Amino acid sequence: MSANIEQNVAILGLGYVGCVSAACFAHIGHRVTGIDKDEFKVRSVLEGRAPFYEPGLEEMVKSGVAAGRLGATTSVEEGVHDADVALICVGTPSEKNGNLGLGQLRKVVEEIAATLSSRTKPLVVAVRSTVFPGTCEEVVMPALGDHPMVRVVSNPEFLREGAAMKDFMEPSLVVVGGHDAQAVARVASIYAPLNVPPCLVSLRTAEMIKYACNAFHAVKVAFANEIGALAARLGVDGHEVMETLCKDDKLNTSAAYLKPGFAFGGSCLPKDLRALTYRALRMDLKLPLLESTLPSNEWQLQRAVHAVLDLPPGARPGIFGLAFKENTDDLRESPVVNLVEQLIGKGRELRIYDPHIQLDAIYGANKSFVLSAIPHIGRLMDRALEDMLAWSTHIVVAQKPSREIHAVLAAQGKPIIDLVGAFPGQPA
């Protein structure tokens, strides 16, 4: 499958995503056939009209049809026959219980499968509808019957209704994921005229990314609204607060803090969240997102506790890192101290090494915090990494290691429980 610039693209489903994609792919030079079981939508496109209102769509449908690059049909057989790429854009609405409804997807995949018996031309089926990770492997591929000419990839859509044409032509993200590199490259190539470097990822990452993006956007909106509501109660201008927050593009509107890892801790984040939600509560102001943040953090800690408790009987975990993050000896509200406290409470033997903690050198609130949680901490701490490694059967990485220590941990050969994402591919 070589990647041509101009390709035959079939688009299954002419709803918001499908119709916008059809018009835009035709506009950037592909030959597009839109397929929908809804005769009204097909007729609209054939007559050069948009089947629903979306700014700029009607003009682009009209020009695509006039140029002979955009057609439409109700027949899957006819629409997919000459296609190099078939983009599935059918609806995936919620079921009553909130589960994702795959009825339209299953049906349209069955209809594609029914066209394949005589197929001799390669076809990449790209799932553009939002589907849960695993859907391509568990639903789409089996229904297509592992046809030798057919490959399946995931190519999620990120456009927003109301700005859909602009979002398509100037995409914030183009993602393609799949097992077959050539099929992935072919689908990526249909976006080449947009001059946006595509993110080529694994199949399940492509399926998951759309959920991660939408959840992130929803959390952002809820966060801004809760800060706005609290500000209003306090007589503060919430717009000014959030605009100022957004001026920090190092820590706030950036990739900072956006990597899966261990629970947060330290002397500021838990204390300030507690103070903020307590003050809101006193004013009878509900801030469920902010109120749920410390419980969410506690669950992250519990997952780490269980990962260590699940080690085989007789395992001797060595914990790397005790402070709440790297390059500090601050133990106040360190989640690792909580982790150790809970493991000891369950009768686990363990040892700890932290390159920045000399127990005889720490004092004040720092010392009293750790001593109240783990009174005999002194007996658990090794002064040298080598001592901890020699005693342990498993290493729990609870803090980002320096480059030198990373190399030692990577080479020591014992299983690692990586709580901080320092060893990609290791269990967390």
Closest distance of CB 127 from ligand NAD, Å: 9
Query: Between residues 124 and 175, which has the closer beta carbon with respect to ligand NAD?
Result: 175
- Among 9, 10, 11, 12, the residue binding ligand NAD under the rule CB under 6 A is 12
Please give the Cα distance from 329 to 357 (Å, whole number): 5
Does 136 engage in binding with ligand NAD (CB under 6 A)? no
* Four-residue CA torsion sign, 96, 100, 106, 112: positive
Please give the Cα distance from 378 to 53 (Å, whole number): 69
Match 């190519």 to its residue by tokens.
155
Q: Are 7 and 189 in contact (CB under 8 A)?
A: yes
Closest distance of CB 98 from ligand NAD, Å: 14
Please give the Cα distance from 205 to 72 (Å, whole number): 32
SS (H, E, C) 219-246: HHHHHHHHHHHHHHHCCCCHHHHHHHHH
The residue from 24, 89, 213, 268 that is catalytic is 268
* Torsion of Cα atoms, 13 then 19 then 25 then 28, to 10°: 170
- Among 41, 151, 186, 394, the residue binding ligand NAD under the rule CB under 6 A is 41
> Of the listed pieces 158-166, 176-184, 226-234, 290-298, which binds ligand NAD according to CB under 6 A?
158-166
Q: Look up 268 and say whether it is catalytic.
A: yes
* Among the listed residues 414, 418, 354, the one whose alpha carbon sits nearest the alpha carbon of residue 380: 354
* Among the listed residues 69, 22, 9, 12, the one whose alpha carbon sits nearest the alpha carbon of residue 165: 22
Does 175 engage in binding with ligand NAD (CB under 6 A)? no
Does 42 engage in binding with ligand NAD (CB under 6 A)? no
Q: Which of residues 237-296 bind ligand NAD (CB under 6 A)?
A: none
Q: Which of residues 80-109 bind ligand NAD (CB under 6 A)?
A: 89-92, 104, 107-108
- Among 44, 130, 189, 277, the residue binding ligand NAD under the rule CB under 6 A is 130
Does 13 engage in binding with ligand NAD (CB under 6 A)? yes
Residues 6+ apart with CB under 8 A from 420: 261, 262, 321, 397, 398, 399, 400
- Among 144, 159, 319, 388, the residue binding ligand NAD under the rule CB under 6 A is 159
Count of C-beta atoms within a 10 Å radius of residue 257 = 10
Closest distance of CB 139 from ligand NAD, Å: 13
Closest distance of CB 22 from ligand NAD, Å: 11
Residue numbers at the binding site for ligand NAD (CB under 6 A): 12-18, 35-38, 41, 89-92, 104, 107-108, 111, 129-130, 157, 159-161
Q: Catalytic residue numbers?
A: 268
